[in-house]
Amino acid sequence: MNLNATLLVVIAASAIFYGTPLLFASVGELLAERSGVLNLGVEGMMLVGAVSAFWTGQHLHGPDWVVLSAAVLVAALAATATSLIHAVLAVSLRANQIVSGLALTIFAGAAGLSSYLGNIGHLGGHARLHEFKAVDLFGLGQTPILGPLVFHQNALVYASWLLVPLAMFYLYRTRPGLHVRAVGESPETADAMGVNVAAYRYVHTLIGGALAGVGGAYFSLAISPNWVDGMTSGAGWIAIALVIFAFWRPELALVGAYLFGAFSSLAFTLQARQVHLPPEVFNSLPYLMTIVVLVFVSTGWAKRRLGAPASLGVPYVREER
């Protein structure tokens, strides 16, 4: 009996593989939301990341690791530039964040900027030249159970495992992290403390963009073999739901991302083992669970202890203090 082919290991492995792009995007969105900026443009930013990563991978020549690192960097930068639109509208111009974020997804997403870039770059119809392959770490890839889960993942998965503790440390243990939380909870107080509210909101909206871009790059460099319009197919929305599901905490975003990642392929895994359940059930589970969590978060107790940053989505205007 091959332990690594057992149902649980297979499900866990696919949870990690398909949860990773969600993890990048939701940690990014979480940081932006912690600073008080709700950005519904995640899907659009991910697609801009996906297309620019794919373009870089097709045009840059060199060893795999150089090209892939450059592609991820380009994806992060392109998505950061995209998120700048939202930052300007939401922070400087104090526009409605929901409208601005939605507009960003419509503008940059499927049938928008990312598709346009894919078309003018002639990305379609060619196999990708570089991809994130699973790395057999320390030769332990075949170890029972832990092998496929821990020691046989691609570089972006390992990067995401560094990202989560880093984000936790930053938010909970550093002075800038404290400031971010202050800016998100009570910008007036933060302002009075001498924290530059606008600067914090800008920086974290941009970090959110960069991480969404990396999540998008995962789709075009690890999942899909070719460029396809709208290839994230809603992952950006799941990432936003995930932030709520994770109570705005990076450690819970990790759990949630893997849970939602598992749902995305569970129907197929069961079908291949003669268990027939409608795939629609699994596809809707992330949203159903988010609704349950939303209900829970709305209760008084949870609102005080676990809820959304108090000033989430509220533009800060100093004159109105």
Partner 1 sequence: MKRPALFAVSVMALVGLSACGSTTSQASPSASAGPIKAAWIYVGPTTDGGWTTAHDKGRKYVEQQLGSKVQTTFKENVPEGPQVSQVIEDLVRDGNKIIFATSFGFQDAMDAAAKAHPNVFFEQATGYKMEPNLAEYFGAAEDADYLTGMALGAASKKGKIGFVAPFPIPEVIREINAVALGAQATHPGATVQVVWTNTWFDPTKEKQAAQSLLSAGVDAIGQGQDSPATGDAAKAVGIPWSGYDSDQTQYAPDIWQTATVYNWGPYYTKRVQAAIDGTWKSGSYYGNLADGFVDIAPFGKSVSADAQAAINAKKQALISGSFYEFAGPLKDQSGAVKVPSGSKLQLTDILTMDWFVQGVIGNPKGA
What does the binding site for partner 1 look like in residue numbers (CB under 8 A)? Answer: 5, 10, 14, 18, 85, 89, 93-96, 99-100, 102-104, 106-107, 109, 111-113, 115-116, 118, 123-127, 133-134, 219, 223-229, 231, 233, 264-265, 267-269, 271-274, 276-279, 315, 317
For residue 143, the minimal CB distance to partner 1 (Å) is 17
For residue 166, the minimal CB distance to partner 1 (Å) is 27
Quote the CA–CA distance of 246 and 208 in Å, as a whole number: 16
Q: How many residues does the chain have?
A: 321
Q: Which is nearer to partner 1, 33 or 229 (CB)?
A: 229
Quote the CA–CA distance of 173 and 181 in Å, as a whole number: 11
Closest CA to 30 of 321, 281, 309: 309
Structure tokens at 68: 């892939």
For residue 157, the minimal CB distance to partner 1 (Å) is 14
For residue 203, the minimal CB distance to partner 1 (Å) is 22
Q: Which is nearer to partner 1, 100 or 160 (CB)?
A: 100
In 88-234, alpha helices (H): 97-108, 113-120, 146, 155-173, 175-185, 187-192, 197-218
Q: Which is nearer to partner 1, 86 or 179 (CB)?
A: 86
**Type of residue numbered 195:** V
Q: Which is nearer to partner 1, 75 or 252 (CB)?
A: 75
For residue 215, the minimal CB distance to partner 1 (Å) is 13
Quote the CA–CA distance of 272 and 5 in Å, as a whole number: 12
Closest CA to 216 of 203, 200, 229: 229
Q: Which is nearer to partner 1, 64 or 251 (CB)?
A: 64
Letter string b/e over residues 10-32, b meaning 16 or more CB atoms within 10 A of that residue's CB: bbbbbbbbbbbbbbbbbbbbbbb
| CB 188, CB 315: distance < 8 Å | no
Q: Tokens 């790059």 sit at which residue?
A: 217
For residue 171, the minimal CB distance to partner 1 (Å) is 29
For residue 88, the minimal CB distance to partner 1 (Å) is 9
Q: Which is nearer to partner 1, 218 or 248 (CB)?
A: 218
Cα 236 to the center of its chain, rounded Å: 7
Q: Which is nearer to partner 1, 75 or 123 (CB)?
A: 123
| CB 35, CB 180: distance < 8 Å | yes
